Chain A
């Protein structure tokens, strides 16, 4: 498959009074044409920073790209000027954000906000842009598009606003859509509708999606591949089936175990003990070691490299080293893995991959 985006060894730091916060510490991944890559991790893992860095939307200062490259269409995005970057934003790479209630300008009509993106990148007259904006609204499932064009964001519900945000992002048929927790602020039924819409649009328009989320349920539903981030690094990466049926990293186990499920009414919901490390002073060795019940002595000394599990599956844990003791995932995770298999079986499908 064709690679559309390559991120190599990306380091991003924020310079604050207390020192340097190393929010992203060497992230490497590829994005293929037409796929959905989910980046998951808890708050502060660097997933949002990574996604904003791809668009160069982080304020500099305090942030800076310390090292690494972002290759897109033969160009390294980290080296482009502001002006060159503006030509890519919204045209080739678009982004939708977490909270639709605040991500639209309250004093500008919806129509104007969509047309702004069209007029910026396409050589269209105002009338043509208006037509295109109406088409986009219809595309994202907004009825009475012509009337809605003249309305303001406060006249839309949360779900409808997120549809508008998506319409803006799709205005120029981008190659990549970055969705930064696009459904986190929505209630569950609306969440399902928006996810459905995104899948549908991806099928129609063929763009690649980078989906940032902490919700593994959404990941199972949306993603082709998953990157699990912890403390500014990707700790495990694989196809969605590999991550859900054959997870290797203890952090991924923790994430899977802490997922609420309907079959788990009586037991207490699992949570990973401890809290993420302070990235102002990143720990030596594996950043996850202090919270990891399976941590080995070497975890406190040396950072684990990426061990290859299969062609598409990698994990950075010393447990995969040939000399490491063989550890099975905890019972609760094995239980979960079985549940996922059951869900897929009930749907009448079989595990992908």
Chain B
């Protein structure tokens, strides 16, 4: 297990390095410069500022310099926010984003699992069809469409919940809903298919032949085995959720990382773009690693295969 973990960490570092490199050069290909809207600056001032931030050097040199700083944990300073360090900016903004992402994945997973399990148990009944319809809608409607819909009906018409901003739990409900619908739909669909498969397997028949009640069979035998493939899709799902956050944070005016990220791209704030991308990537790689570990915990066959010398 230790060897496996170390191997995984090495891969994680290599992945991060590749992402950093690709993002750096892609970012340099973005049109415009950090000074594009500063018409009042004289050419001398411009040159001075570019020199100050090291932007006057050729791109490969900048790249090497950036990597050097990165190795020391220095993500640089922001161009737009008064030279504040990028790490500090991320730290300030991570709270709402993390809360939103966490709420959405927890809520979405729970609701999705329940829907999927019920749909499978009541196969071909109206409960099943309802769950399937919800899943199809959830998958096909983009989160930003749903966000607008929620804002209009629940926020504006019914006035149950605030339309935007971030000033307490009430404000988190609509963005969480908008964000979790995709999760609910995906998890429900997967869980239903898996449960149906598992429920028709021989060992379920064995369990029923022991005299275990229907509920007991589902809880003790079927759910755990159905979870295995569902856990595998949790990784990519987390990716979806995080990219989804960018849009959702913008729509609901949540002062999160995504909102800041979009702004930094608009303004060519290179260090913030780089820092946020790397942060997202590191987070994702870590989540996928955790998912793999979880996978082993749920399925003993994998655990043992990984543990053998």
B-binding residues in A (CB < 8 A) = 55, 57, 82-83, 86-91, 94-95, 97, 99, 102-108, 116-117, 120-121, 152, 154-155, 165, 168-169, 171
Which chain B residues in 280-309 approach chain A with CB under 8 Å?
298-301, 304
Q: How far is the CB of B203 from chain A (nearest CB, A)?
A: 4
Chain B residues bordering chain A, tally (CB within 8 A): 23
- Knowing A86-B213, A95-B209 are in contact, say whether A107-B202 is a contact too (CB < 8 A): no
In contact, A89 and B300 (Cβ under 8 angstroms) = no
B214 at the interface (CB under 8 A from A): yes
**Which chain B residues lie closer than 8 Å to A155 at the CB level?**
304
Which one of B210, B221, B225, B304 has the greatest number of beta carbons of chain A within 10 Å? B210
A103 and B214: CB pair below 8 A? no
* Chain B residues in 8 Å Cβ range of A89: 208-211
| Contact between A107 and B224, CB atoms less than 8 A apart | yes
Tally of contacts, chain A with chain B, CB under 8 A: 78
The answer to whether A105 touches B205, judged by C-beta atoms less than 8 angstroms apart, is: no
Q: What are 27 sample pairs from A and B whose C-beta atoms fall under 8 A apart?
A: A55-B209, A57-B208, A82-B214, A86-B211, A86-B212, A89-B208, A89-B209, A90-B210, A94-B209, A97-B202, A99-B202, A102-B201, A102-B202, A103-B205, A105-B203, A106-B225, A107-B225, A107-B298, A108-B220, A108-B221, A116-B207, A121-B211, A152-B304, A154-B300, A154-B301, A154-B304, A165-B206
Contact B205 A97 (CB under 8 A): yes
* Residues of A contacting B208 in the complex (Cβ-Cβ under 8 angstroms): 57, 89
Knowing A152-B300, A152-B301, A154-B301 are in contact, say whether A104-B212 is a contact too (CB < 8 A): no
Query: Chain B, 190-218, contact with A by CB distance < 8 Å: what is the 0/1 string?
Result: 00000000000111011111111110000
Whole-angstrom distance between the alpha carbons of A117 and B209 in the complex?
9
Q: Which of B212, B224, B225 contacts A116 (CB 8 A)?
A: B212
B207 touches A102 (CB 8 A): no
Look across to chain A and name the residue whose beta carbon is closest to the beta carbon of B214.
Answer: A82
Bound state CA distance, A103 and B201, in angstroms? 8
Given contacts A107-B225, A107-B299, A116-B220, contact A102 B203 (CB under 8 A): yes
Q: Check if B210 sits within 8 Å of A103, measured CB to CB.
A: no
CA distance A165 to B205 in the complex (A): 12
Residue of A91, A97, A99 most packed against chain B (CB within 10 A): A97
Given contacts A86-B213, A88-B211, A105-B221, contact A97 B206 (CB under 8 A): yes
Query: How far does the alpha carbon of A82 sit from the alpha carbon of B217 in the complex, in Å?
Result: 14
A104 touches B203 (CB 8 A): yes
A103-B203 contact in complex given A116-B220, A154-B301, C-beta closer than 8 Å: yes
Residues of B contacting A106 in the complex (Cβ-Cβ under 8 angstroms):
203, 225, 299-301
CA distance A86 to B209 in the complex (A): 8
Q: Are A87 and B211 in contact (CB under 8 A)?
A: yes
